[in-house]
């Protein structure tokens, strides 16, 4: 990493005259390529603010900064600039897994040291980092005499976007991100339209706000997305639409007493992030969220193995089997687990998930007295945990543990030591956690500070026992996988299970053409793709609204280092299309965006680590589309290409499960592949290095 301090341009404006004139400091820091600029504005009367320019044009107009506290004066006005330092950050780093092998973190940082005028003299630092693809800024409370703790009642950060861009957003629900994305102009955003969503277990939309990431597209093609990075010991941020101003105000998820965050001093808040790109593809290539997190914790993380997996999961959502023993159709039996292990071993799939293995499922969702119910070490009598683990290892298949907390985190924390010691003793290196339902104790929320601390405690505890965590009903991803690589994936969106039972018929065709530009910017997604039997008959009435090849393409389009082959294994038997799932990688040397338009089309190419094999996935939304994909991303030499494409019946809407396979045939980097995609359609390509 390079570091240097430099003199910075300071602009001075005189307001009024004589001794009472007001001086405004306006230091500016630029991105390495000078395309983006952040200006810090400080006046005695108006307080602290910032503005962002892209290629000289204002994209975020003068936006307030500051805090309000309980039993302490606000930090908004009356602060003097004591010192300004600028440095260059320029580093490369690697992670144990990812969408690429190496990451280049390059930005300019401006640190503004402020001190309160008068008695008390509290100190506050503002840190801005400007990248070629966006901006991050955070507040830092340095150690100082007489101020050791603070209770935040309001963070006053604003995002005053100019104009009225198209927006893709979900409401600011304090307990769930499992909403369909709305597409409106910024001025038309109203979370109130979704407060009665029948598909949600818990719905806590309390104000006219949206969750992040929220993404915008201007008429000239500029794309912008607001989120946060390194959410540590703080409440999750939603964005409130004020009635009297444009843009957004920060709105933190509250604690039961109405406060927003209790912080020890010294303390640094999460980074507030604004990713900016001249096109949609640039958003998908941005790694800004990762860069704003701390480097990987010391220690050995080589035990983390990206993998594909099968599991006892989808059948519960279909109601073919159940999680609980008392129902008479318990899914998690020793015999069924061994059946799935045999299938995985025969099909190049490395792991198997079992849900419903442990006692307590008879009183979980919907029961107010569910605290203390789940036992995370005691199997049901028809499930021999040790034998399943032994059998899996004999076949070369890892077991993924499952811990559903039923949103009773205190029960879970009481058993963390014994539960994770059990996994470590059995050599289990991954767990899927769940938090279905309203949080106990009442008044706490999934996205508040209390639960942010809980999620981190579990992740750190898991790392100490060499366990990777895949979190469902999570707090949002904010790049912490850089610091803790065992935070391997998470849900945090309206997932595949909605296709089985949602009252509105399931996820619409354009859902996953929006997700990469919104939720996907935050981090890996455990979407559980691979549904081949597109009709839920005979178990449910829903039908998937995408084609079978769309499901194949998701293994490349939706990034996660763990990818489930989610369907019932009988629907994979004898299917030629399943070869793509056998072949496709999960850990990548590099990733390339071939085509991208929010809500319309996403085409990604990824090179698998170590093998040199490439895989391409493309999906469409509500309209069919013809693609021409140049293979110029390939290296030198020849590749054996197989193309999986929507069949004629899929293209004409007769049968979405129909597909065609072209190849294999030998290709080089100078070729172009054409494909027609249906509404909600897809194309999947394997390119095996010869």
Distance CA 20, CA 30 (A): 32
Distance CA 286, CA 218 (A): 18
Distance CA 180, CA 188 (A): 16
Cβ–Cβ < 8 Å for 386, 338: no
DSSP codes joined into one string, 40-72: EEEETTTEEEEEEEETTEEEEEEEEE-EEETTE
Q: Which residues contact 414 (CB under 8 A, 6 or more apart)?
A: none
DSSP annotation of 323 reads S
Closest CA to 420 of 470, 382, 387, 469: 469
Measured CA distances, 167 to 40, 150, 252, 433, 516 (Å): 26, 35, 21, 32, 14
Distance CA 440, CA 409 (A): 7
Cβ–Cβ < 8 Å for 38, 51: yes
Q: Please pick, among 39, 178, 473, 497, the residue that the annotation labels catalytic.
A: 497
How many angstroms separate the first and last alpha carbons of the chain? 38
CB burial of residue 355 (10 Å; 0-12, 13-18, 19+): buried
Sheet holding 430-434, edge to edge: 487-490, 468-471, 430-434, 398-404, 351-354, 307-312, 562-564
Sheet holding 149-155, edge to edge: 72-75, 67-69, 149-155, 261-264
H-run or E-run covering 334:
helix 334-346
DSSP codes joined into one string, 81-143: EEEEEEEEEEEEEE-SS-SSSEEEEEEEEEEEEEEESSTT--EEEEEEEEETTEEEEEEEE--
Residue 610 annotated as catalytic: no
Closest CA to 435 of 357, 377, 359, 374: 374
Which structure tokens are listed for 52?
A: 């962002």
Active site residues: 497
């Amino acid at each position: 990493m390079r570091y240097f301090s430099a003199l910075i341009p300071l602009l001075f404006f005189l307001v009024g005259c004589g001794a009472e004139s007001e001086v405004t400091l306006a230091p500016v820091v630029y991105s390495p390529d000078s395309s983006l600029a952040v200006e810090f504005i400080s006046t005695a009367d108006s307080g602290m603010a910032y503005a962002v320019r892209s290629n000289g044009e204002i994209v975020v107009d003068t936006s307030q900064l500051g805090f309000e506290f309980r039993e302490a004066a606000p930090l908004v006005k009356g602060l003097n600039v004591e010192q300004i330092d600028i440095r260059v950050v320029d580093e490369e780093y690697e992670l144990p897994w990812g969408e690429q092998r190496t990451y280049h973190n390059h930005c300019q940082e401006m640190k503004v040291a402020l001190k309160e005028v008068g008695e008390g003299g509290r100190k506050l630092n503002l840190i801005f980092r400007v990248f070629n693809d966006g901006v991050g800024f955070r507040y830092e409370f340095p150690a100082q005499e007489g101020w050791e703790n603070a209770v935040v009642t309001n963070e006053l950060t604003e995002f005053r976007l100019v104009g009225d861009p198209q927006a893709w957003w979900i409401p600011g629900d304090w307990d769930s991100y499992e909403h369909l994305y709305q597409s409106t102009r910024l001025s038309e955003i109203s979370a109130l339209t979704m407060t009665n969503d029948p598909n949600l277990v818990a719905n806590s939309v309390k104000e006219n706000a949206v969750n992040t990431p929220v993404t915008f597209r201007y008429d000239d093609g500029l794309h912008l997305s607001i989120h946060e990075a390194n959410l540590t010991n703080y409440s999750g941020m939603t964005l409130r639409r004020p009635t009297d101003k444009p843009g957004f105000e920060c709105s933190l998820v509250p604690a039961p007493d109405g406060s927003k965050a209790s912080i020890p001093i010294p303390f640094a808040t999460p980074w507030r992030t604004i990713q900016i790109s001249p096109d949609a593809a640039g958003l998908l290539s941005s790694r800004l969220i990762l860069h704003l997190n701390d480097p990987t914790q010391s220690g050995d993380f080589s035990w983390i193995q990206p993998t594909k997996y099968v599991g006892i999961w989808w059948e519960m959502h279909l109601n073919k089997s159940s999680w609980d023993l008392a129902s008479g159709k318990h899914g998690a039996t020793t015999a069924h687990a061994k059946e799935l292990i045999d299938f995985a071993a025969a099909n190049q799939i490395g792991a198997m998930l079992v849900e419903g293995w442990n006692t307590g499922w008879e009183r979980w969702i919907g029961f107010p007295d569910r605290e203390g119910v789940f036992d995370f070490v005691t199997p049901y009598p028809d499930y021999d945990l040790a034998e399943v683990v032994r059998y899996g290892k004999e076949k070369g298949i890892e077991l993924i543990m499952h811990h559903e907390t039923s949103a009773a985190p205190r029960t879970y924390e009481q058993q963390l030591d014994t539960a994770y010691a059990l996994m470590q003793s059995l050599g289990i290196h991954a767990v899927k956690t769940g938090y279905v339902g309203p949080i106990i104790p009442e008044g706490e929320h999934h996205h508040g500070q209390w639960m942010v601390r809980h999620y981190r405690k579990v992740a750190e505890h898991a790392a100490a026992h060499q366990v990777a965590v895949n979190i469902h009903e999570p707090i949002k991803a904010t790049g912490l996988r850089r610091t803790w690589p065992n935070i391997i994936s998470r849900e945090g969106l309206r997932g595949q299970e909605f296709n089985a039972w949602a009252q509105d018929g399931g996820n619409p065709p354009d859902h996953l053409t929006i997700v990469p530009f919104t939720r996907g910017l935050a981090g890996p997604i455990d979407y559980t793709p691979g549904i081949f039997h597109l009709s839920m008959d005979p178990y449910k009435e829903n039908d998937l609204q995408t084609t079978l090849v769309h499901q194949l393409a998701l293994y490349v389009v939706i990034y996660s280092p763990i990818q489930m082959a989610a369907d019932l294994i009988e629907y994979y038997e004898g299917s030629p299309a399943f070869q793509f799932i056998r072949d496709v990688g999960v850990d990548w040397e590099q990733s390339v965006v071939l085509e991208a338009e929010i809500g319309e089309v996403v085409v990604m190419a990824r090179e698998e680590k170590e093998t040199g094999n490439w895989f391409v996935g493309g999906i469409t939304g509500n309209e069919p589309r013809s693609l021409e994909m140049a293979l110029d991303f390939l290296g030198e030499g020849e590749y054996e290409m197989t193309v999986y494409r929507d069949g004629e019946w899929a293209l004409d809407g007769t049968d979405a499960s129909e597909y065609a396979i072209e190849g294999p045939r030998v290709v080089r980097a100078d070729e172009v592949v054409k494909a027609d995609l249906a509404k909600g359609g897809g194309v999947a390509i394997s390119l095996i290095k010869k």
